[in-house]
Amino acid sequence: MPEGRNAGLDPTRWRKQQQPVRRTVSHVCPPRRPLTVADIRPGMENERLGVVRDSMFQNPLIVKAELGKPRERSYSLPGINFNYGLYIRGLDGGVPEAIGRWNVFKQQPTCPHELTRNYIAMNRGAVKAGLVTAQENLLYRQLNDIRISDQDDRRLKKEPPPLPPNMTFGIRARPSTPFFDLLQHRYLQLWVQEQKATQKAIKLEKKQKVVLGKLYETRSSQLRKYKPPVKLDTLWHMPHFQKVGRHLDTFPTEADRQRALKAHREECAVRQGTLRMGNYTHP
Under a CB-based contact definition with an 8 Å cutoff, are residues 53 and 62 in contact? Answer: no
- Per-residue pLDDT, 168: 83
Angle between helical axes of 119-128 and 134-143 (0-180°, round to 10):
110
Under a CB-based contact definition with an 8 Å cutoff, are residues 93 and 125 in contact? Answer: no
C-beta neighbour count of 31 within 10 angstroms: 14
Q: What is the spatial distance between Cα 149 and Cα 115, in angstroms, rounded to a whole number?
A: 7
pTM of the predicted protein model: 0.21
> Three-class SS string for 70-122?
CCCCCCCCCCCCCCCCCCCCCCCCHHHHHHHCCCCCCCCCCCCCCCCECHHHH
- Per-residue pLDDT, 190: 93
Under a CB-based contact definition with an 8 Å cutoff, are residues 137 and 123 in contact? Answer: yes
Q: In one letter, which amino acid is 195?
A: Q
- Per-residue pLDDT, 6: 47
Q: What is the spatial distance between Cα 123 and Cα 141, in angstroms, rounded to a whole number?
A: 9
Which burial class, exposed, middle or buried, applies to 57 when counting CB atoms under 10 A from its CB (0-12, 13-18, 19+)? buried
C-beta neighbour count of 115 within 10 angstroms: 14
Which burial class, exposed, middle or buried, applies to 137 when counting CB atoms under 10 A from its CB (0-12, 13-18, 19+)? middle
Distances (CA, A) of 187 to 181, 192, 201, 247: 7, 9, 21, 57
Q: What is the spatial distance between Cα 82 and Cα 146, in angstroms, rounded to a whole number?
A: 67
Largest CA distance in the chain: 137
What stretches in the chain show pLDDT beneath 50?
A: 1-9, 11, 14, 16, 283
For 99-142, how does the pLDDT look when each residue is reduced to its tens digit (9 = 90+)?
777 666 677 776 677 788 899 999 999 999 999 899 999 999 99
For the chain, how far is it from start to end, CA to CA, in angstroms?
Answer: 114
Under a CB-based contact definition with an 8 Å cutoff, are residues 77 and 33 in contact? Answer: yes
CA atoms within 13 A on the CB side of 97: 7
Under a CB-based contact definition with an 8 Å cutoff, are residues 46 and 64 in contact? Answer: yes
Nearest Cα to Cα of residue 39 among 81, 80, 69, 79 = 69
